[in-house]
Structure 1
Amino acid sequence: MKTTRLATTTVLLWLAMFGDAFAVSTNRVYSSGIFVLGFIAFCALVVVVQLIPAIMTLWGMLKGAADNAKNSAKAEAND
C-alpha cells in the first residue's frame, strides 16, 4: 500500500511539473502615474507618523520596568 501511494505521488508530481505556469507577463513597464506614487507616499508617511508615539510609549514602558526592577532590588537589599 505504501509503495503504491509513493509511486502514485511520484508520477503525479512528475506530471505536474509539465503544466503551464500561470505567471504574469513582465514586458509591461510601470506606468501608474504621479498620483498613485503620491498616494503610496502619503500612506507611508501616515505609518511612520504613527510609529513615533508607539516607539516613545515602548521606550517609556521599558524605562519604567527597569526603574521598577532597580527599586525592588534596592528594597530587597535593605531588608
Structure 2
Amino acid sequence: ALRPEDLTPSTDGPIAASVISAEYRGRDFYGLARTQDGMELWFRSDIPVQPGEALRLGAPAERVLVYPARAA
C-alpha cells in the first residue's frame, strides 16, 4: 500500500506505465497511469507529463507498506 503522492516518475522505477491523464495543480502534476496489465495508478510529478507518455514509477521504500497475502 502506498499513497498516490508517494508514487513518482523515476528513471529506475520498478513500475512501467503509460500516462492516461495529467493535470497541473499549482506546484505539481497529478496524473493517472495504466500498467501493461491494466492496473491504474495515481501518481504525482514535479515535471510536466503528457497523456500517452511512457513512464517508470517508483516510491521510496520507507513509504511503502507490504501486507502478507491472505490464505484462501
TM-score scaled by structure 1?
Answer: 0.14
The structure whose residues are more often strand, as a share, is 2
TM-score scaled by structure 2?
Answer: 0.15
The structure whose residues are more often helix, as a share, is 1
Which is higher, the Rg of structure 1 or of structure 2? 1
Q: Bigger relative contact order, structure 1 or 2, given CA contacts below 8 A and separation 6+?
A: 2
